[in-house]
Amino acid sequence: MPLPTGAADLPRSIFSGIATNYDLPAQLFSLFQYRRWHRILLSQLSLAPPVRILDMATGTGALALRLAERQGVEVIAADITRPMLLKAKARAKTGHPDFLECTAEASPFVDNVFDAIIFAYLLRYVADVPSTLREMARLIRPGGVMLSLDFAVPPGVAYPLWRLHTGLVLPLGGALLSPGWRRVGSFLGPSIRDFYRRWPEDRLLQAWRDCGFPDVQARRLSLGGALIVWGTKAP
């Protein structure tokens, strides 16, 4: 299916150039928190199998591949950036999970088809956060769950260290790796700050409630530098 332009062009242009060399730098630049965040996020997913799960914005498939190792779990991994999907496919066992190129804003799935949707580093790249959340909520059966992970702006004494890391370490470290990573390293700090100016945590959680997740919860990780959010879709 044709993919919308506009907001989708940004992640395509940024991440296509680093798809073949993504996971190790991501681990280094997160100060070795990348996999830990994934483990904590997935620990909130406790549905009894068999279950069908959508990993939206799968990137190179880090979450999808972990989920696919579980017995009784069917995983569909979706992303709009084709080079990232190709990298994820190369890392996966034949035929598992299934991969699909599509957007979170306008997916091709019918209503109530998934038991869970999980996404990481997605909402900063969409044009309309509430409509994207509603679209993903549409796909989840009543009683199913939605979970997310993203970077966050830490409060208090951790904030100056975070600004140093995102404002200096990421751009310089990225420049040492490649032009693509230099662009990503320079982009991330302003992107994260801008998103949380527009969508502070309390407003973001209210958006989850508004689209059908009344019990939504959030947890800060790594001195507040990451945020996981999860909730159960109301009947």
Q: Residue ranges of the domains in the chain?
A: 9-232
Joined tokens for residue 175: 């420049």
- Per-residue pLDDT at 8: 62
Q: Is the pTM of this model over 0.85?
A: yes
Alpha-carbon distance 198 to 210, whole Å? 17
User: Which residues share a beta bridge with 120?
Assistant: 149
For 202-218, the pLDDT digits (tens) are 999 999 999 999 999 99
pLDDT value at residue 38: 97
pLDDT band, residue 12 (cuts 50/70/90): confident
Q: Which two tokens stand for residue 80?
A: 């709009």
Average pLDDT over the chain, rounded to whole? 93
Between vectors from CA 145 to CA 144 and to CA 148, what angle results, nearest 5°?
160
Instruction: State the CATH architecture for 9-232.
Output: 3-Layer(aba) Sandwich (3.40)
| pLDDT score, position 5 | 43
pLDDT-based confidence at residue 166 (cuts at 50, 70, 90):
very high
d(CA 127, CA 105): 9
Q: Please enumerate in sequence order all residues whose Cβ is within 8 A of that of 129, keeping only pairs 6 or more positions apart, or say none.
A: 123, 199, 204, 207
Beta-strand relationship, 51-56 and 98-101:
unpaired
Which of 38, 13, 16, 20 is CA-nearest to residue 90?
20
Ramachandran angles phi, psi of 232, nearest 5°: -105, 135
Q: What percent of the chain has pLDDT over 70?
A: 96
Q: What's the pLDDT at 112?
A: 98
Binning pLDDT at 50, 70 and 90, where does residue 104 land?
Answer: very high
